[in-house]
Structure 1
């Protein structure tokens, strides 16, 4: 599996986020250390996550309940 490059993010929920546009794969590392990959995520969702006033809130409301995922 090709790793997704993650970048640090200012959040009380998320530590790092990354996106692979070709695979439509969003990868998040939580502050707890858990890492999740969300499948078939449009690029606009990743951009909205980065632009959100609260990325943790956006993740919990718009990403987590709406996309299939796997824990790494």
Structure 2
């Protein structure tokens, strides 16, 4: 999955696959996680947020099933 680099203190890059509704996030330190069943609006709002990390922690973390890639 292609990811876009973001300006964040927590996140390095974010990718989204609309066909599978999978959000992929690379964190500082190198860990990559995939979040499943994420609606496209969440990806759009994450990318538009003033703080990607705050949006992620508030709206995505612990809200969608995930695994470590």
TM-score (norm 1): 0.93
Count matched residues.
69
Q: Distance in 1 between matches of 2:64 and 2:16?
A: 14
Matching residue of 1:8: 5
Residue 11 of structure 2 is aligned to residue 25 of structure 1: no
5+ unaligned residues in a row in structure 1: which ranges? Answer: none
Q: Distance in 2 between matches of 1:32 and 1:51?
A: 23
Q: Distance in 2 between matches of 1:56 and 1:68?
A: 18
5+ unaligned residues in a row in structure 2: which ranges? Answer: none
In the TM superposition, structure 1's runs of 4+ consecutive aligned residues that sit over 3 Å from their partners are none
TM-score (norm 2): 0.97
Over aligned residue pairs, what C-alpha RMSD do you find? 0.5
